[in-house]
């Protein structure tokens, strides 16, 4: 038996990863930049054992169906192939989210799985190697290896595509991200499917590519200068452009719900009132608002007229991946 366990925190991209250049290796079309958060994380244990006759995947104590398990097995296959290992595994994952509001993320999940596998098989990977491994599970997971700001340099091969810390002089500790949970009751298009459809069919996709590397440079400069408005403006503009591409996909789609638009409008209104804050969205209707910690109470008060306490979830900058000891009682 080989057992390992790790905890990884989710990250939210300020400059988005949107589109793959190589779907098998998960090489992105563009570089991206994110902030790792403290409020949402995944703890995953993996047990490779000769008594197992198939892979199994438990999430929050519940065994997952064959479709969910297949994604995990695919990642385990990669590890088994790299390590010349012929053992099935049990994967036990627990998502820590403030509410059961669909905030579970593939970034924290696949990063934790990569960390658990590395721990179980004593791979002694560097952070760069671990980032590359996590990338193969889910692109955004490669950024969750690092705390604070992380940049995923797109690279052009398995070797050269990985994330690294963006030097920030701990500026991220002065920032917060407020999640506004809105639900449109619609079936989500996964980020994987959404980005593929966009790359394959959207006539706006070239416009995305035309701007994104410049956005990234502005974001890095803003972090260097600790210029909140500069970082916020480029975050909001970049997110809007990403979402713009989906409208020209065939068939078209959007992740926005009426409530998402309401939050965007309120953020603009807050700014007009002299409260600096900026929104971003991912492959779902929830809106994330970047704000300085010192302005968080005012922002929450402002939004509390429109949204319940349960819909407003605060996150701060979080740490990188952490190894945790496997408890004997948790084993098979
Ligand atoms: O996080 O197909 O990593 O940069 O969240 O597993 O590689 O789930 F929705 C926007 C994340 C995409 C932007 O995609 O895709 C970002 C997104 P995978 P992910």
Residue pair 103/179 in contact (Cβ under 8 Å)? The answer is yes
**Domain span holding position 155:** 1-332
Cα 42 to averaged position of ligand 1 atoms, centre (Å): 17
Tens digits of per-residue pLDDT, 285-324?
999 999 999 999 999 999 999 999 999 999 999 999 999 9
pLDDT bucket at 184, cuts 50 / 70 / 90: low
Cα 20 to averaged position of ligand 1 atoms, centre (Å): 10
Kindly give the pairing relationship between strand 287-292 and strand 312-316.
Answer: unpaired
Atom of ligand 1 nearest to the CA of 15: 4
Ligand 1 binding pocket mutation candidate from 139, 141, 144, 205 (most atoms within 8 A of CB): 139
Lowest mean pLDDT among 92-101, 204-213, 240-249: 92-101
pLDDT mean over 128-142: 98
- Tell me, what's the pLDDT at 181? 93
Atom of ligand 1 nearest to the CA of 28: 7
Alpha carbon distance 308, 214 (integer Å): 37
Element (H, E) at 68: helix 66-83
pLDDT mean over 89-116: 86
* CATH number for the domain harbouring residue 143: 3.30.230.10
Q: Which two tokens stand for residue 128?
A: 């760069």
Distances (CA, A) of 129 to 18, 68, 124, 164: 22, 25, 9, 11
Residues in the chain: 332
Q: Residue 245's Cα: distance from chain center in Å? A: 19
Ligand 1, residues at Cβ distance < 6 Å: 13, 16-17, 26, 32, 106, 138-140, 191-192, 282-283
Residue pair 94/8 in contact (Cβ under 8 Å)? The answer is no
Alpha carbon distance 259, 250 (integer Å): 24
Rg of the chain, C-alpha, whole Å: 20
Cα 329 to averaged position of ligand 1 atoms, centre (Å): 35
Q: Which two tokens stand for residue 174?
A: 């002065």
- Tell me, what's the pLDDT at 13? 98
Residue pair 104/68 in contact (Cβ under 8 Å)? The answer is no
- Tell me, what's the pLDDT at 97? 82
- Tell me, what's the pLDDT at 37? 97
Atom of ligand 1 nearest to the CA of 26: 7
Q: Please compute, for residue 39, the number of CA atoms within 13 A of its CA located in the half-sphere on the CB side.
A: 17
Q: Which two tokens stand for residue 187?
A: 């079936």
Positive or negative: CA dihedral 177, 98, 285, 296: negative
pLDDT mean over 89-103: 80
The full DSSP string for 148-199 is: SEEEEE--SSTTT-EEEEPP-TTGGGGEEEEEE-----PPPPPHHHHHHHHH
With a CB cutoff of 8 Å and minimum separation 6, the contacts of 256 are 243, 281, 285
Tens digits of per-residue pLDDT, 250-262?
999 999 999 999 9
Could you tell me what percent of the chain has a pLDDT over 70? 95
Mean pLDDT computed over every residue of the chain: 95
Structural domain count of the chain: 1
The answer, yes or no, to whether the previous bond of 251 is cis (omega within 30 of 0) is: yes
Region of 102 (left: φ > 0; alpha: ψ -120 to 50; beta: rest) is left
- Tell me, what's the pLDDT at 104? 67
Residue nearest atom 15 of ligand 1, based on CA coordinates: 192
Residue nearest atom 6 of ligand 1, based on CA coordinates: 138
């Amino acid at each position: 038996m080989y057992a390992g366990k790790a905890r990884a925190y989710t990250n939210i991209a300020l400059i988005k990863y949107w589109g793959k250049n190589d779907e098998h290796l998960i090489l992105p079309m563009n570089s991206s930049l994110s902030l790792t958060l403290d409020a949402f994380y995944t703890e995953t244990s993996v047990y490779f054992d000769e008594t197992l006759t198939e892979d199994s995947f438990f999430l929050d104590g519940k065994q997952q169906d064959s479709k969910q398990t297949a994604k995990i097995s695919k990642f385990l296959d990669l590890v088994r192939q790299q390590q010349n290992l012929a053992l099935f595994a049990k994967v036990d994952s627990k998502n820590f989210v403030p509410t059961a509001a669909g905030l579970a993320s593939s970034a924290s999940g696949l990063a934790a799985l990569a960390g658990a596998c590395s721990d179980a098989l004593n791979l002694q990977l560097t952070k760069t190697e671990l980032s590359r491994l996590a990338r193969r599970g889910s692109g955004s997971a490669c950024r969750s290896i690092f705390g604070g700001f992380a940049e995923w340099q797109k690279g052009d091969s398995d070797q050269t595509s990985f994330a690294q810390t963006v030097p920030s002089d701990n500026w991220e500790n002065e920032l917060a991200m407020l999640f506004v949970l809105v639900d449109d009751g619609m079936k989500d298009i996964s980020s994987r499917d959404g980005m593929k459809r966009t790359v394959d069919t959207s006539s706006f996709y070239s416009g995305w590519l035309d701007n994104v590397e410049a956005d990234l440079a502005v974001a890095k400069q803003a972090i260097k200068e600790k210029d909140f408005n500069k970082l916020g403006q480029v975050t909001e503009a970049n997110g809007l452009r990403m979402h713009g591409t989906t409208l020209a996909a065939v068939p078209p789609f959007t992740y926005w719900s009426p409530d998402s638009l309401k939050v965007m409008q309120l953020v603009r209104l807050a700014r007009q009132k002299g409260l600096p804050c900026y929104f971003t969205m991912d492959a779902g209707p929830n809106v994330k608002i970047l704000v300085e910690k010192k302005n968080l109470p005012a922002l929450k008060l402002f939004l509390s007229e429109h949204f319940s306490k349960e819909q407003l979830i605060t996150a701060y900058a979080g740490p990188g991946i952490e190894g945790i000891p496997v408890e004997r009682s948790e084993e098979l």
